[in-house]
Amino acid sequence: MISVQEALQTILNNTQDFGVEEIPFLKSVGRTLKEDILADRDFPPFNRVSMDGIAVNHRFFDQGTRAFFIEGVQAAGAEQKTMKVASNCMEVMTGAVLPENTDTIIRYEDVVIENGIATISVHILELGKNIHSKGKDRAQGDLLISKNSIISAAEIGVLATVGKPTVKVAKMPNVMIVSTGDELVEVDEIPLAHQIRRSNAFTLVSLLERLNIQAKTAHITDNKELLKQKIETFLKEYDVLLFSGAVSKGKFDFLPEVLEELRVKKLFHRVAQRPGKPFWFGKLDTEPSQSDIKKELNLKKGSSISLRHQLSKLVFAFPGNPVSTYVNCLVYFYPWFAKSVGFELKEETVILGEDVSFKPQLTFFLQVRVDIKFGQLVAFPVKGNGSGDLASLVEADGFIKLPTKQTTFKKGENYTIIRYR
């Protein structure tokens, strides 16, 4: 049995680069950006009017002029006009180019217009007022979005502004989620007294959807030969297999034995934690074909992916209890995926809201709900009924990580939290 830290490091040592793909920018929300986005021109690209009103030459205001003849109108989207008489004014609309020969905007609320004359009602006017100057936000060539950023609605707006109809993002792994066990029936079935409906697989599907991974699912009964046959096929078709169940010490927990027979190398089995101790992790390295080698050699220098990593198939086999499956996905699969595609998961801490005692020499992932007290995040334990208590996940917001070499955890102490809401 290894520690949580050793298990996580082993998993992070086996991250994979699945490459880069170019997709329509509107389909990229939640994906990991794989190129720097630069300003294609100054932001804003011209001296932009920021209020509806009139544009004047400020020196005439300084000289005491308050009534200005309206020479014309500068509309948003129209080419820049030139005010021919410097002592006149032009009506301007928000978003328009500042007319040539003007340098200050007075909003309509401070102007009275009558018979083609605009009379200003304010007595103090700042030069350059209500003008968003060219290049004030960003200059052409400035970095707007860094590579490895997660794309959100904010980034979508910038991509549109710089004229990026398509964008390079990290490719996603092909993932198969497999549940096992004779006791499981489908969601739309009425279970018998000795049966339960499948739930862990769909929990994992939803957890992976938060990462924008569209995983497939399958169910295999407790039949060793069938299990081996199905897994052999899945290893050929998918990059990652996620299992729920069949990894503990039960008579029908065939999964570790089957994986060994299929030459999947066990990297560890059993982690010093609660819940989720019987976690199994391993990988299958396959020999590259001649076509794979040719493809690798034809890739441009600097863009190739290691064939060894490209062809490794990873297996995350979580225990079948729902809370164990849930916490192990968050603690291990999420960081693996983040490192594989290039973004960083931010660690968050909370204040423990009450004393907790836990004597086993295991890392304890304690279910908690989170409240805000005096501007700080405070975590309060959720009293569940062990790792099989699926409903307790609904009452909690996450798990706090309580370290091994400690038995008493005091109210007011800070601990790492893995939040799922």
**In the chain, where does the domain assigned CATH 2.40.340.10 lie?**
348-419
Could you read off the pLDDT tens digit of each residue along the chain, which spans 421 residues? 999 999 999 999 999 999 999 999 999 999 999 999 999 999 999 999 999 999 999 999 999 999 999 999 999 999 999 999 999 999 999 999 999 999 999 999 999 999 999 999 999 999 999 999 999 999 999 999 999 999 999 999 999 999 999 999 999 999 999 998 888 888 888 989 998 788 889 999 999 999 999 999 999 988 999 999 999 999 999 999 999 987 877 776 889 999 999 999 999 999 999 999 999 999 999 766 566 556 555 654 444 444 444 569 999 999 989 999 999 999 999 999 999 999 999 999 999 999 999 999 999 999 999 999 989 999 999 998 989 898 999 999 999 999 998 999 999 999 999 999 9
Prediction pTM value = 0.87
Calculate the CA 158 to chain-centre distance: 17
CATH of 4-19+171-283+318-341, one of 3.90.1300.10, 3.30.70.260, 3.40.980.10, 3.80.10.10: 3.40.980.10
65: left (phi over 0), alpha (psi -120 to 50) or beta: beta
Dihedral over alpha carbons 207, 211, 215, 218 (to 10 degrees): -20
Alpha carbons within 13 A on the beta-carbon side of 413: 14
Question: How far is CA 307 from its chain centroid?
Answer: 27
- What is the CATH number that goes with domain 348-419? 2.40.340.10
* CATH 2.170.190.11 placement within the chain: 48-132
Contact 72, 55 (CB under 8 A): no
For the chain, helix (H) and strand (E) counts, in that order, are 11, 28
The contacts of residue 315 (CB under 8 Å, 6+ apart) are 240, 241, 243, 259, 264, 280, 281, 282, 283, 284
CATH 3.40.980.10 location in the chain: 4-19+171-283+318-341
Contact residues for 95 (Cβ-Cβ < 8 A; gap 6+): 48, 49, 76, 77
Rounded-to-integer distance, Cα 103 and Cα 329, Å: 59
What dotted CATH number matches 48-132?
A: 2.170.190.11
Instruction: Tell me the per-residue pLDDT of 218-275, one tens digit each, with 9 for 90 and over.
Output: 999 889 999 999 999 999 999 999 999 878 777 768 899 999 999 999 999 999 999 9
Alpha-carbon span 84 to 61, nearest angstrom: 17
